[in-house]
Amino acid sequence: MSSDSSLQSSAVINEAVQTLRDGGLVAFPTETVYGLGADAKNAEAIKKIFTAKGRPSNHPLIVHLAAPDRFDQAQVDWVPILANWARDVSEEALKLINAFWPGPLTLVFKKDKSVLTDLTGGQDTVAIRAPSHPIAQELLRKFKGGVVAPSANRFGKVSPTSASDVRHEFEGMLDLMILDGGDCEVGIESTIIDLSSGDKAILLRPGAITPSEIFSKTGVKVYLPGDVKANELTEDLPKVSGSLKAHYAPTTPLRLYAPGRVLDALSEFPDIKSRVAVAVWDSDSCLGDDGHPSAHFEEVEVPSDSAAFASRLYRSLRDLDQQGWDLILFPEPPAGEEWDGVRDRLQRACFGSGPSSSSHVSN
Ligand code: TXA
Ligand code: MG
């Protein structure tokens, strides 16, 4: 990934650092999606993020930290770094960190008292991650502090995976400095694990790093929220904004179809006679025996490998959304944990999609 660094010169990154120090916003690439960054110690700058995104102030932000250099593969001592942000960092937490940071894993801890509640949405916990994208790392290292960064999209909309997506998202609304790091490799947001309850690691948002991978690399068992007794979960505040039923949504209606059941998905839209984009697995040569009137459909191939699918999911949704289809159909992702991240995003995108999506989302 080092070639991505060359997309932005040191001088541009220095300017971005100065913008953050001055309380401004900087959009920057991470390996998952582009983030909209601000100084995590500046309440006014944090407020600008919520305003720009149209995000309710009780939806907490992730603090992004620089990963110190590893010399000779030696393990980095994260304890003093985390001490500025988190309390009760357990042995289990350090196992996850040593295995997956920098990378697409966010961990939720009890917060240190110095962490602004403006960024935690009033909660006593804080979400932290060290992104691996070289531009994000250079920015964070030079800034020498924490940077809060939600995905750089308007609240509830599809997350951006390129610099031009970010530009498009805030065009005419916000004069924003955007660091260009090319297309994001992972393509969906980081996996979030809640470690704040002390004993159990709980999956709050599925992503590229799965519970099985965590278990096999660290021996730490990750529980799903459904595995944990209701009284152990605090439901009063939205822990993960992506956990709203509607999120990541295009303006064009989007639905999923079961294998070979395109016409069933269409039955909800009896008036649509044409302009339907149907995503099909690249492993299938055609839609099968649905007998649909092919003149009304256009097939768009999507990868049948889960990582490749994730990497292009938001790109496809944005592109299809701009092409003026009446309806977009995607195949239901197959069963299997490696598909959980994209299944989660697609289901929420379906629920929030359509011209009136913003009214769903704000609920
Ligand atoms: O991959 C990512 O995580 C990207 C890149 C930019 O780093 N960021 C991202 O941020 O997805 P955002 O704000 O779009 O989503 C962060 C999620 C939110 O849904 C939020 O509710 C959750 O993290 N979160 C933040 N702080 C939390 C906390 N203290 N407890 C539980 N969930 C938290
Ligand atoms: Mg987001």
Per-residue pLDDT tens over the stretch 256-275? 999 988 888 888 888 776 78
Query: Where do runs of H (alpha helix) occur along 281-356?
Result: 306-322, 340-352
Same domain, 200 and 273: no
- Overall domain count for the chain: 2
Residue type, 63: V
Instruction: Give the tens place of pLDDT for each residue, 142-167.
Output: 999 999 999 999 998 999 999 999 99
Same domain, 65 and 160: yes
Ligand 1 in reach of 178 Cβ (< 6 A): no
Instruction: Give the tens place of pLDDT for each residue, 80-131.
Output: 999 999 999 999 999 999 999 999 999 999 999 999 999 999 999 999 999 9
Same domain, 318 and 289: yes
Tell which of 194, 213, 240 closes a domain: 240
Same domain, 268 and 309: yes
The SS3 assignment for 71 reads coil
Give φ, ψ of 148 to 5 degrees.
-80, 140
- Residue 136 forms part of a structural domain: yes
Q: Whose CA is nearest to atom 15 of ligand 1?
A: 150
Distance 119 CA to ligand 1 centre (A): 11
Range in 2-16, 84-98, 214-228 the model is least confident about: 2-16
Ligand whose nearest atom lies closest to the CA of 30: 1
pLDDT band for position 246 (cuts 50, 70, 90): confident
Show Cβ contacts of residue 353 under 8 Å, excluding neighbours closer than 6 positions.
Answer: 249, 250, 251, 252, 253, 254, 328
Ligand 1: nearest atom to the Cα of 153: 14
- Residue 245 forms part of a structural domain: no
Ligand 1: nearest atom to the Cα of 190: 1
- Residue 246 forms part of a structural domain: no
Same domain, 143 and 53: yes
Please give the Cα distance from 12 to 18 (Å, whole number): 10
CATH number of the domain to which 312 belongs: 3.40.50
Any idea which residue has 């953050």 for tokens?
20
Q: How far is CA 77 from CA 98, 103, 171, 315, in A?
A: 9, 16, 41, 37
Q: Mean of the per-residue pLDDT values for the chain?
A: 88
SS3 content of the chain, % helix, strand, coil (to 5): 35, 20, 50
Ligand 1 in reach of 278 Cβ (< 6 A): no
pLDDT band for position 360 (cuts 50, 70, 90): very low
Same domain, 342 and 205: no
Same domain, 65 and 166: yes
Ligand whose nearest atom lies closest to the CA of 158: 2
Q: What is the model's pLDDT at position 321?
A: 94
Same domain, 82 and 217: yes
Question: What interface predicted TM-score (ipTM) does this complex get?
Answer: 0.99
The SS3 assignment for 110 reads strand
Q: Whose CA is nearest to atom 12 of ligand 1?
A: 150
Ligand 1 in reach of 210 Cβ (< 6 A): no
- Residue 350 forms part of a structural domain: yes
pLDDT at 73 over 80: no
pLDDT band for position 78 (cuts 50, 70, 90): very high
Ligand 1 in reach of 132 Cβ (< 6 A): no
Tell which of 214, 240, 266 closes a domain: 240
Beta bridge partners of 129: 64
Tell which of 208, 240, 272 closes a domain: 240
Percent over 70 (pLDDT), the chain? 86
Same domain, 131 and 277: no
- Residue 36 forms part of a structural domain: yes
Distance 95 CA to ligand 1 centre (A): 21
- Residue 247 forms part of a structural domain: no
Distance 81 CA to ligand 2 centre (A): 25
CATH number of the domain to which 124 belongs: 3.90.870.10
User: Among 25, 53, 292, 66, which Cα is nearest to 176's?
Assistant: 25
Q: Whose CA is nearest to atom 20 of ligand 1?
A: 240
Ligand whose nearest atom lies closest to the CA of 153: 2
Question: What are the DSSP calls for 215-268, one per residue?
Answer: HHHH---EE-GGGS-GGGS--SS-S-GGGSSS-SB-SS-EEEE-TT-HHHHHTT
Same domain, 342 and 221: no
Residue numbers of the domain that contains 298: 254-361
